[in-house]
Homo-oligomer: A and B are copies of this chain.
Amino acid sequence: MSELVGNLLVAQSGGPTAVINASIAGVIQEAGRHECIEEIYGGLNGILGMLNEEIIDINEEKSRNIEGLKHTPAAALGTCRYKLDFKKKPERAAKDMDRLFEVFEAHNIRFFFYAGGNDSQDTAHKIHEQAVARGYEMRVIGVPKTIDNDLPHTDHCPGYGSVIKYNSATVMEVAADVLSMATDDGFCCLIEVMGRSAGWIAAGTALARRQPGDAPHLILLPEIPLDEEVFLAKVKEAVAQHKYCIVVVGEGVKNAAGEEIGADKSRVDAFGHPVLSGAAEYLSGLVQHRLNTKTRSIKLGYAQRAAAHYASLTDSQEAAATGEAAVRAAVSGQSGLMVKIVRTSTHPYKWTTGLQPLADIANVEHLLPRDWISEDGFMPNEKFIEYARPLIEGEVKVPTEGGLPKFVVLEKVRVEKKLPARA
């Protein structure tokens, strides 16, 4: 195999996480160690920006800022949800693919790294296949990222440890608050967390439980159909026993008919439009109304996936390592693969990186296994706890300025465009 020499392009895609920038830093820092990589470019806003030749010169960035990406949340290069949709829009997708390869050729991109979740790995896979089909020599490696932890084959996904660390700390704090106010009348607080189809994020808050009786008392997982009567009975029991009840609600929790809770079309606003208030708020109304128990709800939304100020050091280090491993794989001649995290031991926790064909990743969703959930369906069991516990270890040190986090914003010096504007 003759050594491939050329430029590197790295881009991000899908919903950001607290540590996806650490993966980008990993790619960049490792790339600097290999002579076959000439220029290091960043693609703005995923393939959407690449189609528009929106490319920045990473070597113009300060080294300090590259290192600072490891504590900076969101997607420093920008992201997108744009898909190459060969099924629904085959002509558009084919045109986009042609354009992408024009961009790759124009900038002599020979090493391409795409950090993202399921859809992004699918995009990387298609680009790899096209490179082979077109005889354009380019190494394509996917870098895993998703707070949802729903990618197959990897032990877990960078981004997941940080979101469950922050959410668990929040559960502990809110629980202390609610308990200190709980009188004999009882108090129920519902905390909605992300996860539309997979319950990994909701399940992760079980790490907040250190002693019997600790919050959360119930965790509602999208994988387990919710029976409202059973749920109400469980809340009543918890309030009777502990005077308070903390419920973590996975946003995608569904009823027996498979409909998302809180997406009830019969609720209308002043304009007559359906109110999609979210599961926690709907259930909060239900508890208040049926049990006459004081309730409050919290919806963490994007705050949870952006919470760099309490990110997991383990997660951040793993995210950086997947970026580094991606570059090493590409330089060694491999392509069409995603970096995965391989757990080699749980006690003590040890891990390494591995590689998995992108074809195995795309469009496969990894849900919480049923045998990691308690029989009644309201709590992950010890198997899950053993799995998740190491992922939240350590805290990322975030520098502050004036009492607030100091995040990195890249200079984003543009690489001169070489092509006519996109058609």
Tell me the A residues contacting B by CB distance below 8 Å: 12, 15-16, 45, 48, 72-81, 165, 168-170, 172-174, 176-181, 183, 189, 191, 207-208, 210, 264, 266-271, 273, 275, 277-278, 281-282, 285, 289, 296-303, 305-310, 312, 314, 389, 392-395, 400-405, 407
Q: How far is the CB of A245 from chain B (nearest CB, A)?
A: 14
Kindly state the separation between the CA atoms of A285 and B307 in the bound complex, as whole angstroms.
Answer: 25
Question: Is chain A's binding surface mostly helix, strand, loop or mixed?
Answer: mixed
Kindly state the separation between the CA atoms of A179 and B75 in the bound complex, as whole angstroms.
Answer: 9
Option from B73, B180, B270, B278 in Cβ contact (under 8 Å) with A76: B180
19 contacts between A and B (CB under 8 A): A12-B180, A16-B181, A74-B177, A74-B179, A172-B404, A172-B407, A173-B306, A173-B307, A173-B309, A177-B306, A207-B402, A207-B403, A267-B268, A267-B269, A277-B277, A277-B281, A297-B299, A300-B303, A314-B403
How many subunits of this chain does the assembly comprise?
A: 2
- A298 / chain B contacts, CB cutoff of 8 Å: 299-303
Kindly state the separation between the CA atoms of A302 and B308 in the bound complex, as whole angstroms.
Answer: 20
Kindly state the separation between the CA atoms of A383 and B78 in the bound complex, as whole angstroms.
Answer: 35
Asked if residues B270 and A266 are in contact (CB atoms below 8 Å), the reply is yes
Asked if residues B395 and A173 are in contact (CB atoms below 8 Å), the reply is no
Kindly state the separation between the CA atoms of A300 and B301 in the bound complex, as whole angstroms.
Answer: 9
Asked if residues B389 and A393 are in contact (CB atoms below 8 Å), the reply is no
Asked if residues B285 and A269 are in contact (CB atoms below 8 Å), the reply is yes
Asked if residues B404 and A394 are in contact (CB atoms below 8 Å), the reply is no
Option from B267, B273, B302, B393 in Cβ contact (under 8 Å) with A177: B302
- A81 / chain B contacts, CB cutoff of 8 Å: 181
Top-8 shortest CB links A-B: A74-B176, A392-B403, A173-B306, A298-B301, A75-B180, A177-B306, A74-B180, A74-B177
Asked if residues B75 and A181 are in contact (CB atoms below 8 Å), the reply is yes
A16 and B180 contact, Cβ closer than 8 Å, known pairs A404-B169, A404-B207: yes
Asked if residues A180 and B78 are in contact (CB atoms below 8 Å), the reply is yes
Option from B78, B176, B289 in Cβ contact (under 8 Å) with A72: B176
Asked if residues B303 and A173 are in contact (CB atoms below 8 Å), the reply is yes
| A268-B268, A298-B301 given; 15 more Cβ-contact pairs under 8 Å | A12-B180, A15-B181, A16-B177, A72-B176, A74-B177, A79-B181, A169-B309, A173-B405, A207-B403, A267-B267, A271-B289, A298-B303, A299-B299, A310-B310, A312-B403
Kindly state the separation between the CA atoms of A372 and B207 in the bound complex, as whole angstroms.
Answer: 43
Option from B268, B302, B303, B403 in Cβ contact (under 8 Å) with A394: B403
